[in-house]
Amino acid sequence: MNYAYEIRRQAEAAPRAALPAVASALWKAFGEGHLSEADAEALSGLIEARQLTERPADLSQRPTGSPRKAVGSRPRTDASMERRRRWAASGRLPPAIAARFTLAEQAVLAVIAVEVAKRGRCALAIGAVASLAGVSETSVRRALREARTLGLITVDERRLSRFRNDTNLITVVDQAWAAWLRLARRSTGVGGGCQTRQGTNTPVPYPVNSERRNGRKGFRRMEDETNNSGQMSRFAVLPHSRHNCVREVTSI
């Protein structure tokens, strides 16, 4: 059975009210491995395009001369595809969770995971997430809807007024995903273990290892000097003394 051909035929022939059921069958087939990622994204774009274009007659009528809004997904540029692949390969999702989403959805959830790891919750707007991940806003909404259905995240709406909302707050509630993010944050931090002590460049007002220069090491040098009273005094010069002070040892 050619799943891609059959789902495409149903998406083109089914009425608008039956399109959600076709989309559900699409992602079920993708999860079971019957569809490739490219086929799943193409069929998803076809279903979303039909949902946007097929409106009731009273709503689809436009004034003469009004520009028609473009329908479809955003163009795939090289830069956006590179960002998408980079985010999907960043390792922010456990393999078991990443296998349930497409490449675009993995990029979206990776962006959200980074914000959650930094601040505890993600408060980015849908447009900002789409721009960072290199996907369309439709892909962001689809990823959030699927992750919310699977119980991976919670989305808290912040309503400011009747016609105005603030950005939603997204929290990761799945224990496996939260533990994965904690492990990733711990691995990027500075680890413990032995500490290497580094010396300081402290200026020294006296010569170091002066005994090597004098050819003497490890013993005291004794000198006899005559004081003013004519008595002989024996003094010891300590090589390791800080100021090379002369200390009287015995007096004759």
Give the pLDDT confidence of 167-177 residue by residue, as tens digits: 889 999 999 99
* Same structural domain, 153 and 230: no
Q: 193 to each of 14, 33, 190, 196, how far by Cα in Å?
A: 64, 45, 10, 10
Tell whether the model's pLDDT for residue 107 goes beyond 80.
yes
pLDDT per residue as tens digits for the range 189-201 = 544 444 545 556 6
Q: How many domains does the chain have?
A: 3
Nearest to 38 by CA among 133, 130, 103, 83: 103
* Same structural domain, 38 and 120: no
Counting residues of the chain whose pLDDT is more than 90, the rounded percentage is: 21
Residue 167 domain boundaries: 76-187
Tell me the average pLDDT of the chain: 73
Average pLDDT over residues 204-212: 56
Considering the domain boundaries, does residue 204 fall inside one? no
Of 11-20, 104-113, 141-150, 198-207, minimum mean pLDDT range? 198-207
* Same structural domain, 88 and 152: yes
CA angle 15, 19, 20 (to 5 degrees): 145
Query: pLDDT value at position 58?
Result: 41
* Same structural domain, 43 and 86: no
Q: What is the 3-state secondary structure (H, E, C) of 30-57?
A: HHCCCCCHHHHHHHHHHHHHHHHHCCCH
Considering the domain boundaries, does residue 62 fall inside one? no
* Same structural domain, 170 and 93: yes
* Same structural domain, 100 and 4: no
- Two tokens, residue 212: 């090597």
Query: pLDDT value at position 159?
Result: 80
Of 73-77, 85-89, 212-216, minimum mean pLDDT range? 212-216
- Name the pairing type of β-strands 232-237 and 246-251: antiparallel
DSSP letter assigned to residue 122:
B
